[in-house]
Structures are given as C-alpha cells and as structure tokens.
Amino acid sequence: MQYPKFLQKNDCIGLVAPSFGCNEDPYATRLESAISILKRKGFAIKEGKNIRSYKKVASTNAKDRAKEFMETYLDNSVNFVSSVAGGERMIEILDYIDFEAIKKAKPKYFMGYSDNTVLTFTLTTLCDIASIYYVHIPELGMKPWSKHIENGFSIITGKKNKLEAYTEYEIPEIGEHENTDKKQLEDYLAPYDLNGKTKWFTLDDKEVTFTGRLIGGCLDVLQLLCGTEFADISSFQNTYKDDGFIWYLETCDLNAVATLRALWQLKHNNFFMNVKGFLIGKPLNGDDFMDLTYEEAVMSVLSEFNVPIIFDVNVGHISPTIPMLNGFLATVQYNKNESSIMFLK
C-alpha cells in the first residue's frame, strides 16, 4: 500500500469538482470561507475551473470533470486533492480516468465522501494508494471549527491516529440540503447543531476488538460499481488477505430494503472475502420498510459472516463524522460505554 504524505503546513491543496460544483448557497459561501481559513492556516490553494460550476446535475460534462481531476492529481505543485462536493453523476468520469498514469505518479491523498466513493474506492483498490473518506472542503468553512472538525483535521494532517466515537449528532433537514440542519440553512457558516444523541451499537452488545485493512464507502455507489471493471478488487484482496478487511458502509438514498439488495449484490460478487468486521454508518434514510427494520435488513445479509457488525458509526451523511482512511490497517474497539478506531500502517 502506498501511503501519501499527510497534509502539512505550506502544502498546496488542489480543489476539484468531479461531481457537483459549489455554484449556490449554502455551499458557495462555505467554500469561500473554507478557502480563506485554509490560507490563514498556511496552505496554498489551487482551484479547479469547475468548482463553482453547475450543468445538468453535475459541475460540467464527465470528460471535463475527469480532466480536471487528472490535471490536478498529476500536477507536481499539488500535494493533496480534495473534492468540493458530492452529487449524483460522478460515476461517469470513470470512462476518462487514466489509472495507469495515476499508478506512475507520485501518490497523493484524495479526499471526499458520498458520490466521491467513485474515486476513494478505486484509487485504493485499483491503484494501491490510500485515500480519505471524509468531508468536502466547504465543511471546513464553518466558524468556529467544532471539536469534530479539529479532530478530523488532526487525522488528515497526521497529528492523531485515533478517535473516539461521537455521542451527539446533527439531525438533518431532509430535502434539498439533505445533510444540513435548519440552523445551518439560516447561518451558512454555523458550526454543527448537535441536537441528537447517538452511540455505536451491536445487536448482542458484546465487547469486541478487531483489526483489518479498512475499505468501503457509500453503498449507493458501491452497488453501481459492482460487476464493472472498476470493482475488480481481486488483486487488492489477494495482496492483503492475511490482514483481513474491515468494511465500512453507509447509505444516502437507500432505504432498508434497498440496502438489503445492495449488500446481497456485493456479497455475491465476493466483496466480503476475509472480512474481519463491518462498520455500518448511521443512515440518512434509515426508516423501517413496512415491518423490516434497517438493522434487520443489514443482518439478513451480513450475519452469515460471523464477524462483529457495529451500527450507527460516525461515517457518511450524518454529521459529525470520523475520517476513514482507505487502505490503512485499523483497530476497532467497541463496548457499550465507549468505542474507538485507531489507524495503523
């Protein structure tokens, strides 16, 4: 596994829009604030031309989005690449991504989540380069930074390698701005409004500790990749089979029964070989489907692996979140009172 250098002061951060751009508020205001904050912290910023654009449910056409990413990733003046947004149509750029050129280039981190699973997953499984599943840059525009953003930033700058589970979350306003709460829609730069209580849990509540190589992302996207040449993870699995794998999976649009179907599809495409445990993110759309609960849907597919399955992990679309370092060895500790994840190499 190639581990790029963590973000350091004076590094250049390249901003790209492989899915949506930040063309309207609240995202446009947050992006400007984040750029300003990062510059004050000593980072240089190199902006892709599409980061403020919008056209047909994306920042621009797929070929130009891929070109922006490739040019930024291969730019020797750029040390770290981050997406400015998630979205709906990022999967189309895979037709134009030159993975062979990426393999030959100096490795650097790419950071994003949700639709950006398209790259965080493939960079790690196809190119053997660690990647970061974490917030988009505009989320760093909040004033002041919450302790959760400080914690996450400490991970991506290499100052910390362990985080404890969060016990509070921001109840989202479901709608156009799906993971933004009401307070942030009134003040675009407001920090998280932690108006809900949460905790990691297992259905048997047994204390567990397990270690494996971390991989995963947004299940909505992984389901689309499944069965294509972009989800040929056999080499990745064979290389690290002795480590075993910790799969983290979170959902955006999928309800309980759609989650069941997606997990079934991944299982039957051998995604979960040598699995050591599952981290299931707190779902954005986790309501019961008729008499089927979200947890029952997950367990109906994954219980046969006889490994720990932890629910409501702080990853994905419900803030605040913990960075997931794809390709890293990680140790997860769980008990009903406290839980944590430690990143190793």
Domain shared by 17 and 148, yes or no = yes
Within the chain, where are the H helices? 27-40, 62-74, 99-104, 117-127, 147-156, 182-186, 219-225, 234-239, 256-267, 294-302
Q: pLDDT (tens digit, 9 = 90+) per residue, 149-200?
A: 999 999 999 999 999 999 999 998 755 445 555 566 679 999 999 999 999 9
Range of the domain at 56: 12-156
Number of domains into which the chain is organized:
2
Report percent pLDDT > 90 for the chain: 94
pLDDT tens, position by position, 4-52? 999 999 999 999 999 999 999 999 999 999 999 999 999 999 999 999 9
Residues 138 and 247 in one domain: no
Looking at residue 323, what DSSP letter applies?
-
70 near 90, Cβ under 8 Å?
no
Structure tokens at 213: 């190589």
Measured in degrees and rounded to the nearest 5, phi and psi for residue 241 equal -60, -30
Name every residue whose Cβ is closer than 8 Å to that of residue 92 and which is 6 or more positions away in sequence: 58, 62, 65
Task: With respect to residue 16, please indicate whether it lies within any of the assigned structural domains.
Answer: yes
Whether 197 is in a domain gets the answer no
Do 150 and 214 reside in the same domain of the chain? no
Report the pLDDT value the prediction gives residue 184, as an integer from 0 to 100.
64
DSSP string, 263-292: HHHHHTTTTTTTEEEEEEEPPTT---BTTB
Question: Is residue 171 in some structural domain?
Answer: no
pLDDT of residue 99: 98
Rounded Cα gap, residues 151 and 82, in angstroms = 18
Residue 195 lies in a domain: no
- For residue 176, the model assigns a pLDDT of 46
**In-domain check, residue 315:** yes
